[in-house]
Structure 1
Amino acid sequence: MLPVMISTMTLFMLIGIPVAIAIGLASLIGISGFTSLPMVLFPQQAFVALDKFPLAAIPFFILAGNLMAAGGISRRLVELVECCVHSIRGGILLTCVFTALIFGAVSGSSVATTLAIGAVLIPAMVKRGYPIGFAAALQATSAELSVLIPPSIPMIIYGLSANVSVGDLFLAGIGPGILVAVALSVFVLIYTRYKGFVEVRAEKRPPFFPALKGASLALLMPIIVLGGIYGGVFTPTEASVIAVGYSLAVSLIYRELSMSQFGEVIRKSAISSAIVMFIISMAGVFSFVLTRAGVPAAIGAWIVETFTSPISFLIAVNIFLFIMGMFVETSASIVVLGPILAPVAVHYGIDPIHFGMVMIFNLAMGMITPPLGVNLFAACAVANIGIEKMIPYLVPLVGVIIFCLGLVTFIPSISLFLVR
């Protein structure tokens, strides 16, 4: 059953059928060809997969990110960070990394970060003398921080799929997120000197205090959202609504959000949310069919027999998830694989929160690796270039991310020190 469903899903995706529809068709084949279950279970399970209150946070965080982009919040964050690192050669590159980190602390979406921050920073990096392919590759890679730093949409999905605390996952993401930001910053400063890139420095440092004043309301946003969650004031789902309300209020204060722009923000957010929810619903049906057939238990038993230690298990899972992330959308992979792999990780004595970070980290790399690479295509759209111009610069950046993944995988305290 499993080989047929996997091969069918893969074939559908290879011929250009969208991921969600490919998963849904494979689920239909599984129900009709390998079980005696009535077909009415297909729409029922699709609804059950979405009938979870924490999932309401996803459309609200997407809307908050789009409001930040349209309301001038992201631009003010860029200006403030650039003031802080202006005196450093390569400061515009550090601005790219750390603005993505701050923006990700509210939006939770790497694609939204790529589009919102990239529209400002990719032209700025090119203007400073950096190749457009390098600028686009760095922006796409930095945007992955939005998945690692809380609040993160994949963390919410994993928490529901593996039945672990979303709040603890948010805490666990802070360490890996900061690690990646620091590693990327150190690497780009060394790499640009090694490659001999000549930066055209800005003649005058932008005034710091006006930039701080302009971005002060924007900086309060992640403090309110994350502080409220960890302080027990509201849940992650309620925090998403707070984020939307605050983004809208700040956008109105900045007076950069017109009614026509607001309508476009709502339209874009609705489309993005519908795509994510459709993927989750189809992946939920897929997971239900496999569970009813006993596939997760069989895979778990095989893994336990094959890999005799936690280290060998983690190495195998890292390789498998990295390949999976290159071809299957992150949300779908988490919904299908989370309930299968998380219990096996617990069997090996691996903390489910730590394993969740390893899983999310791995699958998030699929956003910056072809052929799926949604961040790459978003950066290409902003920079108006083909993906082939990004590849030479992308390879070493992916290497940095893989190095950080190894540290997160085998040093659990990076993820768990705040949780504990």
Structure 2
Amino acid sequence: MIALALLVLLVVGVPVGVAFALIVMVRAEAWSIELSSLASIPYDTVSSFPLLAIPLFLLGGELMNRGGLIRQLTAVCDILLGWVRAPLGHVMILASALMGAITGSSVATVAAIGGTVGREMSLRGYPRGYTAALNASAGLLGVLIPPSIPLILYGSIVGVSITQLFLASVMPGIVMMLALGVVHAWMSRHVLPGGQELVAGAQPTTHAAVDGRMVQRSMAAIMTRSIPALMLPVLVLGGIYSGIFTPTEAAAVAALYALLVTVLGRMTKFGELNGIFARAALSSAAILVIIGFTSIFNRAMVLEQVPQSIAGYATGFTDSALVFLLVVNLVLLLIGMFMETNAATLLMGPLLAPAAAKFGIDPVHFAIILVTNIEIGLLTPPMAANLYVAARTNNADLVSLLRYLGWFLVAALLVMATITYVPQLSLWYRYFF
């Protein structure tokens, strides 16, 4: 009944944080929750040190985007992949992975890459609906490629090492990149006129008459200008995996680095910083409000012994870990269709983690399963935030986007199944460290 009421509130458009708060307030007496604690519980939750990484990573991504560093990353990707067929689609996938390594946010990745690579794809002959579909699908890499905001949330609320979660998501992220690349390579033959991208006048490498030395100088200039942008993922991930930074400290370093590069490089004016900080603050506040109110809901679920009941039902329903994982996948795919990604992670993580532990499933592996399932909800209506952002950013209508989405969604589901039943893909780092 509670889940149905929550689902109705979300479907009719009540903000996620408000929906959770209303449910808790209405059921406070039945759940033995003092109304006075409705302020202290959210505050205690969002003031935790690991969650500080969220606004800092978002600020770093906003500075990178507004300062033009994302365009520099895209130019580098174009040079690296210019030799393949239909290269710009592969550029979008690789650029999305690099953007994910900066922001940890799928929606932010879709908006940033769609506004840069997406425009160029339209000029090169791609239908807008296809561009938007690829943009939305590649946005999944914003969650899988570390750092990842949903993984930060999961680690904070369930008590799993965030550094291990970041390491675990590397190989699944690479597999997702390859799967999307294969689909694009196949579909580009059908969506492009003659199966080839149109010649882009802005790309000197497409003109046979241009002197080779001039092309090399142009490429060298692009690579040189892009060094500051390329160093940010190296700085963040290298610092985390080498043990120099915690994920939160790495987020602070990333934000400070992006600020210094964009200001000292005169990519951003001081007058624009107010707007950049405001947009990052609004995005962070929206996420933290959800976290705060879902923490009350999760506290109520624990008091009502809902996780224990789910674990008991799951272990009584089947004694097979494989069957349990199949059921979990189906449940999480359904949840992802109707709930925002961060809220779904905060809600379902504490509920399902105890049941997974009873089946002997590694908690790090299960975290990657859960987050991958829920993130696919970004491509499945009615919530499907990636679809709406990609459609708006690429000036495409939703119907034309959905026309091209199917094979990308199939690829994502196949990767999800691989992640679920091949734990070595997530736990690869234990063989090396």
Q: What does residue 402 of structure 1 align with?
A: 413
Q: Which of residues 6, 25, 43 in structure 1 aligns to 2:3?
A: 6
- Say whether residues 1:28 and 2:25 are aligned partners: yes
Deviates more, 1:113-122 or 1:313-322: 113-122
Question: Quick one: which amino acid aligns to residue 29 of structure 1?
Answer: V
Q: How many residues align?
A: 416
Aligned-pair distance for 1:35? 2.9
Q: What does residue 108 of structure 1 align with?
A: 104
Superposed CA offset, 1:54-105 (max 9, x none): 0000000000110110111100000111012223221000000001111111
Q: What does residue 159 of structure 1 align with?
A: 155
Matches within 5 A, 1:123-138: 123-138=119-134
Q: Which of residues 194, 198, 201 in structure 2 aligns to 1:200?
A: 198
Q: What does residue 150 of structure 1 align with?
A: 146
Superposed CA offset, 1:133-172 (max 9, x none): 1001111111110100111111100001211100000000
Q: Which of residues 69, 72, 78 in structure 2 aligns to 1:76?
A: 72
Q: What does residue 336 of structure 1 align with?
A: 347
Q: What does residue 395 of structure 2 align with?
A: 384
Q: What does residue 208 of structure 2 align with?
A: none
Answer yes or no: is the 8 Å Cα contact 2:183–2:407 preserved in 1.
no
Q: Distance in 2 between matches of 1:125 and 1:202?
A: 10
Report the TM-score when normalising by structure 2: 0.93
Q: Distance in 1 between matches of 2:32 and 2:186?
A: 60
- Say whether residues 1:92 and 2:88 are aligned partners: yes
Superposed CA offset, 1:248-268 (max 9, x none): 122124322112322211111
Q: Which of residues 59, 80, 84 in structure 1 aligns to 2:55?
A: 59
Aligned-pair distance for 1:384? 2.4
Deviates more, 1:58-67 or 1:207-216: 207-216
Seen in structure 2, the aligned counterparts of structure 1 residues 85 and 390 have a Cα distance that, compared at 3 Å, is same
Question: Quick one: which amino acid aligns to residue 157 of structure 1?
Answer: L
Aligned-pair distance for 1:330? 1.3
Aligned-pair distance for 1:44? 2.2
Structure 1: runs of 5 or more not aligned: none
Answer yes or no: is the 8 Å Cα contact 1:6–1:26 preserved in 2.
no
Answer yes or no: is the 8 Å Cα contact 2:310–2:355 preserved in 1.
no
Question: Quick one: which amino acid aligns to residue 61 of structure 1?
Answer: F
Q: What does residue 354 of structure 1 align with?
A: 365
Aligned-pair distance for 1:51? 2.9
Question: Quick one: which amino acid aligns to residue 407 of structure 1?
Answer: T
Superposed CA offset, 1:226-274 (max 9, x none): 1111111111000000000111122124322112322211111010000
Matches within 5 A, 1:207-356: 207-356=218-367
Aligned-pair distance for 1:194? 4.1
Q: Give 3-state SS (helix, strand or coil) of 1:390's partner.
A: helix
Report the TM-score when normalising by structure 1: 0.96
Q: Distance in 1 between matches of 2:423 and 2:305?
A: 31
Answer yes or no: is the 8 Å Cα contact 2:104–2:146 preserved in 1.
yes
Q: Distance in 2 between matches of 1:229 and 1:351?
A: 22
Answer yes or no: is the 8 Å Cα contact 1:103–1:146 preserved in 2.
yes
**What RMSD in Å do the two structures reach over aligned CA positions?**
1.4
Q: Distance in 1 between matches of 2:126 and 2:308?
A: 51
Q: Distance in 1 between matches of 2:291 and 2:410?
A: 30
Question: Quick one: which amino acid aligns to residue 298 of structure 1?
Answer: S
Q: Distance in 2 between matches of 1:197 and 1:310?
A: 48
Percent of aligned pairs with the same amino acid: 34
Seen in structure 2, the aligned counterparts of structure 1 residues 22 and 80 have a Cα distance that, compared at 3 Å, is same
Aligned-pair distance for 1:197? 4.3
Q: Distance in 2 between matches of 1:381 and 1:256?
A: 26
Q: Distance in 1 between matches of 2:191 and 2:233?
A: 36
Q: Give 3-state SS (helix, strand or coil) of 1:418's partner.
A: helix
Answer yes or no: is the 8 Å Cα contact 2:128–2:395 preserved in 1.
no
- Say whether residues 1:364 and 2:375 are aligned partners: yes
Superposed CA offset, 1:169-214 (max 9, x none): 0000100110011111111011221455442133631632111111
Structure 2: runs of 5 or more not aligned: 206-214
